[in-house]
Structure 1
């Protein structure tokens, strides 16, 4: 007996056009993102197009926001890939509703409205609070390094900058001297466009000089923060200006020979990579609520250390939601007597580790570090230990989801202010993905 298959007619055309909504299953993330964006205040996006006239017909901002946010929520960050998905992916086509912007249009919209896209993060956090997914009982803070959009091959150390500057100056002088010679003297030499060669070397010299000045200014700022001054003669001094003994290794404002600057993204910094090695990166910070792992604050800096991020992150939670959490958890990277002192008067129960888990930290002087001693005492109690044990469970999953689920391991944009906004866009997309999953559940 012949096998009877289900009908299969690839060339069969439909008498009436199909509805894309009928093809996407109920509860799909695209529906949730589309409905959520419609509920957000998008007035800031419309301002740019006000008064454009009848002939100026840009793509609708709501559609562009939906497509961009859905792209980031599903790991599609490239404008070229989003353009392709608008033709090939059912969810993208449903959100685009028959619109097919080119990748340049998508790229320019993201660049022009980057601040507005970042500001939507706060609206989504407030929406999650209204949905009951944020309680602000316990918030855990954690940082992760994300690669900058910068080539490691287009970076140079301070020592190499000084050497290359000297080499380029010598080459420019030689070319200028050669330009003064007669044509007869150069008759037997290979033809060379001397003005173009001089211009190329001068442009290279200028770029290196600017990078060197950035490194020196960065070092001057760091030295001032350490209490140094330009006339300290490399001698450490106390608050009264008296020498304390010892000697600084370098003159004021002179960077280490191995200090580097990147030409493609000067705002990035060389940071240690998990698993070994170094990359031009940024330090991304998240504050995560324990109710549903919603990111309630997302900030970013180009300082590799987490120490200075604790107070700003808790202040960002207050700014975004209107109140501080009842409890804040952080690892030993945020330990600082100054942090503990600044947060002592706030209505937050702070639990911060003083060292690596399972290892004994150094002895603390109660006269100079009273708040640190109090934190050590808290961590010795059953309640303090139980609270800190929850930190890893609360804080680390969202950073793992950003890199492993969304696949966001490197910024698409360059410059500190741009990557700050892009990181908020990533956290906004992750929050919506999480909120959609919780709603379905």
Structure 2
């Protein structure tokens, strides 16, 4: 009797629009970032876009600020990774309200508004401190966490407050510099992890089916070279054609589970490198 599973329909269309905020549990850091940024003055960000016409519509600055602050608060610094998170991470998707700026757009927005972002980030961390949050996410710069509560003590002198604010500003500036460095290190990386020719689902399914067929054909050729045939019922045979004891591990033409095929270069084979490890390669012989 088949197991009675809960429904799983990954391609099922939603019948009713879902409220984005309900995708995350109450108390999630993204909710705090969302509400905190909504309550701050972002006029300096809006001022840069007042002369843009209707044909040049930028992404909303409030959305971009929320995504950047949440990214840095959770240790995601590079624009490329933030852009990827907008597709893969529920919290990022909620904050962006299903907007998907490219990594260059994220990078350029930060570069244009670097000063404003630094000041705004300080305000968000101040709010977190006033609300008694222990820390704002897991913000780490060179191993030092940027904590929302600058002191363990409930009381703080004015002089200590000024010092704590200066330290906080310096840490956030270092964090933004770390984000710039991350973008610089990744500027020459390819745009996609998946080759463009198999990015679309149907093309990907066709490519996987073709790769499976190549593996099976190679296995059939290897089996024929060892004296196997399509009707041997997994029973090994000797040179005289008579069955021997034991059984083959797999039916004729079925590859081992660990057999691999390269989508980009199907004729290559996985070979051991001289220095250790394995790579798709050719065995050049003369």
TM-score when scaled to structure 1? 0.33
Higher relative strand content: 1
> Whose relative contact order is higher, 1 or 2, with alpha carbons under 8 Å and at least 6 apart?
1
